[in-house]
Every structure is written in C-alpha cells, then in structure tokens.
C-alpha cells in the first residue's frame, strides 16, 4: 500500500511522527509492505513555495493508495489572497476531499476503560458525515466560491444539496450499520431547511426501506446535540449533512473523554484519507503535549478501509487495524498516554508506547 504522508502544521509534525512509528510497527508485525512517502504541504510550504499544495505533492497523492494528513492551520492562511481554489493558499483538506471525491467522512466516538466520559455513560457510535457539499463554500461550486460579499455589509452563503450525494451517504451509513448494531439515525433540520434536508431525508428513508433489518429514526439537529449529552449510548450510526456532522462529531468525541481520541477517515469509491478530526493547536505546538491518538486511530481506520477493498492482504490489514485500536485502549487504561486523557507521557513517548505494544504481541 502506497501512502503519502503530509505532516501538517502546529502539532501536526509531532503527532504524525508518533503515527508513523505506530504504522511501521504494524507493518513489521503484519507484513503490510507499506510504502510511506513524506511530502510537503501546509503553512511552511506556502511560505517557501507560494502554495500549500505543490503540484508534485498533489500528483503523488493522486498516484497513491491513500493519504495520511496531519492537522492543517487553515485559519492562518484562510484570509490570504488565493484562499479559494485556484490560488496558492488552498485548504488541503477541502482540496483533496473535493478533487478525490471523498464523500464520506466517518468519525467514530467511543468511551475507553480507565477514562471517564463527561456524561458518565459508556457509548460507541459513529457519525457518517456527507463531505463534499452543504454549507462549505470552498467545495460546493464548480467555479468560484459559494460565499458572496454582496455589499460591504451583506454576505450571502449558499448551500448545495444534491440527490447523488444524499443517496450515497445514506447508503454508506446503512452499510456500516449492518456491521455494527443495526441502527441508523438521520439528523436534519427539515423543519426549516425544507427542500435541502427534505431531499436528504428522502434518500435516508429510501435506503431504510432497502434494509428492513436495520432500525431507523430521525432527530432534528438541535435536539440531537442535547440527546448526545444526555444519552449517547442510545445511538449507533448517525448520518447527516456536512456542517451538522462536523459540529456533532466534535461534540461526540469530546464526550468520549478528549478531542484527541477522534479518529476520522474521508473515503470515496477508490481512495481514502486518514485525518485527525481536531485542529493544529498552535498554542501547544512543539511542547510534546499533543495527544497523537486521533491521527493514530485515523491511520488504523485507513488500514481497515484497505482491508474492506479485498485482496490477498485483506486479513493482514484488518488485523493491523484491530491491533492499533487495541493498543490505544491499552495505553489509556495503563496511563501510558498524554495528560489530556489522564496519562503521564509526552507525544513522542506515547507513540513509542503504542508501537511497543503492537510490536510485542
């Protein structure tokens, strides 16, 4: 498996280094034959080359089997000239999601033994988020940007919702639910966004009819935020549109104990990108304090996605993904982790603790 690795900005290089240590340990144990190519992208690259994504990096990603991306400090350059597509200060996450049609953002959230959730409940859920349209102004137009400054005092933001994107994210959610506890919850605001969220719900309902063995219900997004805080254990697979999924997944992951535990992949039909679900945290960059688990778990999900593609190595990739996830649970329970989850180690040492557990088995 050929993987391009983009370390990102802020804490990105630190958590990426820890993730690479884990991937190399899994590679050695399970014989995955990973080909890891570390390439430039992000803020430092913008300063050196005039672009956050050099063409050589983009070409290498297109030729690879997958991508591991550390957090990018898109806020640092979002206001610069060229922030929209076609300029130099591209949002790498949005760029690859759009150009590789990575329509499904899969974000699990679960509790861990030894780490108390703020809710006091044990839960294990997955948010399936549509990833290529919605209110995201940088990726829902063929040309230009969907946020328009009409006058100095008036901004219009347009949301795009399409039948294709609704259908395929609904299908992804039900496919996932069949491997889990067979329960899908569609989250929406169709009481206000009647046409767009109405189309989304129509796709979810049509998919539910195809899967009579999967329980299906619908919850309005503001009520869903309250339900996640009160009874997260009620939910299995939650499917929703882009912005709602972005917000709810951060909430769910924080309820698991730390935003640093949020694994995330961006998946299409033929390509997958592992990406930490949190930001670049420039305030703690270089201090060896950042929790690498989010990117480590994202990399495990990438290996799991590769296993689902089939082939002679599928079992090895599935076993490697499971071993990484188990190692994360083990280091948390043992306290061999960063302070945000009750541990005593720094970023690099936690990466080594994870790698040691994987390699020792």
3-state class (DSSP) for residue 178: helix
Dist. CA 128–CA 355, nearest whole Å: 29
Catalytic one of 9, 236, 250, 336: 250
Catalytic one of 77, 189, 197, 236: 189
H helices within 182-236, ranges in order?
196-210, 221-230
CB-based contact 261:297 (threshold 8 Å): yes
Q: For this structure, is 210 an active site residue?
A: no
Catalytic one of 9, 101, 138, 246: 246
The secondary structure of 79-105, three-state, reads CCCCCCCCCCCCCHHHHHHHHCCCCEE
Dist. CA 207–CA 172, nearest whole Å: 10
DSSP for 213-227? TSEEEEEEHHHHHHH
Whole-Å CA distances, 14 to 62, 71, 95: 25, 11, 23
Dist. CA 201–CA 190, nearest whole Å: 8
Q: For this structure, is 340 an active site residue?
A: no
H helices within 110-193, ranges in order?
163-179
Dist. CA 241–CA 299, nearest whole Å: 24
Q: For this structure, is 246 an active site residue?
A: yes
CB-based contact 38:340 (threshold 8 Å): no
Q: For this structure, is 222 an active site residue?
A: yes
Catalytic one of 33, 35, 75, 222: 222
Catalytic one of 77, 112, 136, 216: 136
The sign of the torsion formed by the CA atoms of 106, 69, 347, 258 equals negative
Long-range Cβ pairs for the range 136-141 (8 Å, 24+): 136/94, 136/242, 136/243, 138/83, 138/84, 138/85, 138/91, 138/94, 139/94, 139/97, 139/98
Q: For this structure, is 189 an active site residue?
A: yes
Chain-centre distance for alpha carbon 335: 25
Catalytic residues: 136, 189, 222, 246, 250
């Amino acid at each position: 498996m050929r993987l391009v690795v983009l370390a990102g900005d802020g804490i990105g290089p630190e958590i990426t280094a820890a993730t690479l240590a884990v991937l190399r340990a899994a590679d050695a144990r399970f014989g995955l034959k990973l080909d890891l190519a570390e390439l430039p992208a992000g803020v430092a690259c913008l300063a050196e080359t005039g672009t956050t994504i050099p063409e050589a990096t983009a070409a290498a990603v297109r030729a690879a089997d997958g991508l591991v991306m550390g957090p990018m400090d898109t806020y640092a350059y979002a206001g610069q000239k060229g922030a929209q597509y076609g300029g130099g200060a591209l949002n790498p996450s949005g760029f690859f999601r759009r150009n590789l049609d990575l329509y499904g953002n899969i974000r699990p959230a679960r509790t861990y033994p030894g780490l108390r959730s703020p809710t006091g409940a044990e839960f294990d859920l997955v948010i399936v988020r549509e990833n290529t349209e919605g209110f995201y102004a940088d990726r829902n137009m063929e040309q230009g940007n969907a946020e328009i400054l009409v006058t100095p005092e008036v901004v219009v933001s347009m949301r795009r919702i399409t039948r294709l994107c609704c259908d395929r994210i609904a299908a992804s959610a039900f496919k996932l639910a069949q491997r889990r506890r067979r329960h899908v919850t569609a989250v929406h605001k169709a009481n206000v966004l009647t046409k767009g969220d109405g189309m989304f719900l129509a796709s979810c309902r049509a998919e539910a009819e195809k899967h009579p063995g999967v329980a299906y219900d619908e919850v309005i997004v503001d009520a869903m935020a309250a339900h996640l805080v009160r009874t997260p254990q009620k939910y299995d697979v939650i499917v929703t549109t882009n912005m709602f999924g972005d917000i709810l997944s951060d909430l769910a992951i924080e309820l698991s104990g730390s935003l640093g535990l949020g694994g995330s992949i961006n998946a299409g039909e033929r390509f997958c990108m592992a990406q930490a679900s949190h930001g670049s945290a420039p305030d703690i960059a270089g201090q060896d304090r950042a929790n690498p688990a989010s990117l480590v778990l994202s990399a495990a999900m990438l290996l799991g996605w590769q296993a689902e593609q089939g082939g002679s190595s599928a079992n090895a990739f599935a076993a490697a993904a499971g071993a990484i996830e188990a190692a994360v649970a083990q280091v948390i329970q043992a306290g061999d982790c960063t302070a945000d989850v009750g541990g005593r180690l720094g970023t690099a040492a936690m990466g080594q603790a994870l790698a040691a557990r994987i390699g020792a088995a």
